[in-house]
Amino acid sequence: MSDTSRTDYDRLVERLSARGLDVAAIEQRLADHRIETPSWGYANAGTRFGSYPPAGLPSTPFEKFDDAAEVHRLTGITPSVAIHIPWDQLENYGELKAHAESLGLEVGTVNPNLFGDQRYKLGSLANPDAAVRRLATDHMLECIEIAREVGSTGLSLWLPDGTNYAGQDSFVARRRRLHESLSEVYAALDADMELLVEYKLYEPAFYASELADWGASLLTCQKLGPKAKVLVDLGHHAQGVNIEQIVAFLDDEDRLGGFHFNNRKYGDDDLIVGSVNPFELFLIYTELAAMPTLPRLTIDQAFIVEHKIEGMVLSVVNLQEAFAKALLVDRVALAERQAAGDVLGAHELLLDAFRTDVRPLTAKVREEKGAAADPVAAFRDGDWWERVGSRRTAAATTGGLGA
């Protein structure tokens, strides 16, 4: 730690301690904070209008893990990597597990793909055609098998199923087919596995999505059993929806499975975490910080015009700062003011925490882990391009509709 950083850190500790906060305990919680990064976040991404793949993209699951290792090296809190099948399909998953371990990483949740096959045009697990449901269910079962091979306990489900036109299919029939397909998947889960059921208001379905909101996902989880939990993606809600309240309710129901973190201004924009409304991110972490254990925290973004590794690092930094600020909230005073109906007094306690510049604190925690005090600057000043990026030769693809 530089002398000036030390000065800022000491002064911050002094201020927080004076407020009665246990800074050591806060640092411990920050040190224990874990963010999973997605293998697909290191690969090419775009909109339906095409993508602009930069040079240096990874072309294999192994290279994606190399990039994830760089993020972990810089931030110190991203030791696991979610994989996506078939994008990360391999003959031998043991090799990926070994590669991960050699990098100080582990394989995280396994994410099936239920839209890439041409037969999924009208849906996957809820498709009117039993043969397609069989295909999708088998893919889910295959992903459970892969999870076993890589030592993962999390099976994610983002279901793209839905309809584009009124009348295209029966809401209830689709729902029942979905539940039937998922029952088979659920039955195949190991005792220590979780099924994470994501919801999304729209896209790719534009009339109705099977799992459009937390209510639909939660009902599905109830029907399946206690190993099924809801996964919250910050970009999958209608405008205005209060996400932090949903998080609190799901936790109160013991059904909060975890997050896909990103940020959005319009639709499912999949932007860098905290880039649109960092206060909302802080409020979500204010709920998380009150939980005895954190659920699975995963980034799910699509880096289109920005550098993918730098974008991932920035997202992790933003998550870490949101958690740090949430840990500064004076919970005792908050509860007192809430009980007293002191509307602004309670609100101002959150504001006070949010306004605090926690960078000295997160820098300290990172440095103690051997990571970078300022991960973004370290990446910009570093030699990743020379070491890694420039040696890759993945061909740029154009994609996009109508091409």
With a CB cutoff of 8 Å and minimum separation 6, the contacts of 121 are: none
CB of 233 to a copy of itself, least distance (A): 14
**1, 8, 62, 394: residue in contact with a copy of itself (rule CB under 8 A):** 8
Distance of CA 383 to the CA centre of its chain: 27
> Is residue 307 within the footprint of a copy of itself (CB under 8 A)?
yes
- Least distance in Å: CB of 145 to a copy of itself? 21
Residue of 94, 104, 225, 400 interacting with a copy of itself (CB under 8 A):
400
Does the footprint of a copy of itself cover residue 142 (CB under 8 A)? no
Q: Does 173 bind a copy of itself (CB under 8 A)?
A: yes
Q: Does 390 bind a copy of itself (CB under 8 A)?
A: no
d(CA 127, CA 175): 10
Nearest residue to 233 via CA among 206, 192, 276, 269: 269
Note whether 22 binds a copy of itself by CB under 8 A. Answer: no
x/- site string to a copy of itself, residues 93 to 122, per CB under 8 A?
----------------------xx-x-xxx
Within 54-83, which residues bind a copy of itself (CB under 8 A)? none
Give CA–CA dist 240/237, Å, rounded: 8
Instruction: Name residues contacting a copy of itself, limited to 239-268 (CB under 8 A).
Output: 239-242, 244-245, 248-249, 251-253, 264-267
Could you tell me which of 68, 142, 132 has the C-alpha nearest to residue 111? 142
CB contact set of 362 (below 8 Å; sequence gap of 6+)? 30, 317, 320, 321, 324
* Residue among 191 and 238 whose Cβ is closer to a copy of itself: 238
Figure out which of the listed residues 25, 164, 226, 390 binds a copy of itself, where binding follows CB under 8 A: 164
Q: Taking a C-beta distance cutoff of 8 angstroms, is the pair 260, 231 a contact?
A: yes
Inter-residue contact 274 to 301 (CB < 8 Å): no
Q: Give the shortest CB-286-to-a copy of itself separation in angstroms.
A: 8
382 binds a copy of itself (CB under 8 A): no
Count of chain residues binding a copy of itself (CB under 8 A): 122
State which of residues 69, 100, 216, 297 lies at the interface with a copy of itself (CB under 8 A). 216
Nearest approach in angstroms of CB 370 to a copy of itself is 23
Dmax (CA) of the chain: 67
* 215 is a contact residue toward a copy of itself (CB under 8 A): yes
Q: How far is the CB of 144 from a copy of itself (least distance, A)?
A: 21
Residue among 277, 383, 387, 391 that touches a copy of itself (CB under 8 A): 277
Instruction: Give the one residue of 99, 260, 359, 364 binding a copy of itself; rule: CB under 8 A.
Output: 359
Is 293 a binder of a copy of itself (CB under 8 A)? no
For residue 343, the minimal CB distance to a copy of itself (Å) is 5
- Other CB atoms within a 10 A radius of the CB of residue 220 amount to 23
| Contact call for residue 168 and a copy of itself (CB under 8 A) | yes
Among 52, 109, 43, 41, CA closest to 273: 41
Return the number of the residue (28 or 49) whose C-beta is nearest a copy of itself.
49
327 binds a copy of itself (CB under 8 A): no
What's the CA gap between 109 and 296, in Å, rounded?
A: 9
Does 52 sit near a copy of itself (CB under 8 A)? yes
Between the two ends of the chain, the Cα-to-Cα distance in Å is: 52
Q: How far is the CB of 334 from a copy of itself (least distance, A)?
A: 6
Q: What are phi and psi of 230, to 5 degrees?
A: -90, 135
Q: Which of 306, 367, 382, 388 binds a copy of itself (CB under 8 A)?
A: 306
- Out of 142, 180, 184, 280, point to the residue binding a copy of itself (CB under 8 A): 280
